[in-house]
Structure 1
Amino acid sequence: MNLDFIDELRDHSNMRNVVYKQRIAKYYDSRVKPCAFKTGDWVMRKVSLAPKNPTKGTLGPTWEGPYEVTKVCRPGIYQLRDTKGKTLPHAWNADHLKYYYK
């Protein structure tokens, strides 16, 4: 008797799983803050592990800058220029940038 309804039970559990994943995605998307900069905005750049000063250890700065956004290559990808006018060699992702308040 139970083997007759196994396909229906499988379909029902699959539907519940799809609804659950949609609910989780909706919750996640509602909490994500989009980060978009315009040309002329000033930003701080996250210091990666490679150029960090090893003499300062964990107490070294985690952000450096400010940098000016000179070009929007694609949504979320930006070309930066420092305060001396030197353009950085490659573009930076918005995940590694934060807005600089003057």
Structure 2
Amino acid sequence: MPTYRTTAVDAVHNDEELRLNIDLLEERRECASIREVKAKSQMTKYYNARVRGVTFRPGDFVYHSNDASHAVAEGKLGPKWEGPYEVTEALEDGAYILWSMDGMILPRTWNIANLKKCYL
């Protein structure tokens, strides 16, 4: 039993329409990529307006995250930060070497994400 869809199709006209759709597809992709770049730039602008850049200099005192070091495991009521420690050297990409108050250098470098300013 033929349906309207199969009887109304015109093979020559259908091929032309498919070619036109392919041409329009490239245009839609270009428009989508333009919208994507615009949305990303807006998100970057929003983030940069609100982010607070934190850097430490040698001689600053900081706390480091207990989650990063796993030194004290007292459950959810345990301390979240350890310290204070003194920054001895600032490496690149937000890495720091810390000096404890006992006079020992901590055995690894610490990322800025795991440090918090200590106000003594």
TM-score normalised to the size of structure 2? 0.74
SS of the residue corresponding to residue 90 of structure 2 reads strand
Q: Which amino acid aligns with 1:48?
A: D
| Aligned length in residues | 100
Larger Rg: 2
Distance 2:105 2:75 in 1: 28
1:52 aligned to which of 67, 72, 75: 72
Distance 1:23 1:13 in 2: 15
What does residue range 69-88 of structure 1 map to in structure 2 within 5 Å? 69-88=87-106
Structure 1 residue 29: deviation in Å?
A: 2.2
Higher relative contact order (CA 8 A, sep 6+): 1
User: Residues 66 and 100 of structure 1 are in contact (CA less than 8 Å); yes or no, is this contact kept in structure 2?
Assistant: yes
SS of the residue corresponding to residue 71 of structure 1 reads strand
Identity of matched residues, %: 38
Distance 2:93 2:78 in 1: 30
Which structure carries more strand by proportion? Answer: 1
Which structure carries more helix by proportion? Answer: 2
Distance 1:13 1:90 in 2: 46
What does residue range 79-98 of structure 1 map to in structure 2 within 5 Å? 79-98=97-116
Distance 2:88 2:29 in 1: 55
Distance 2:98 2:40 in 1: 38
Distance 1:10 1:96 in 2: 41
Gaps of 5+ in 1: none
Gaps of 5+ in 2: 1-16
Q: Which amino acid aligns with 1:64?
A: E
SS of the residue corresponding to residue 91 of structure 2 reads strand
**Hey, what does 2:29 align to over in structure 1?**
10
**Hey, what does 1:43 align to over in structure 2?**
62
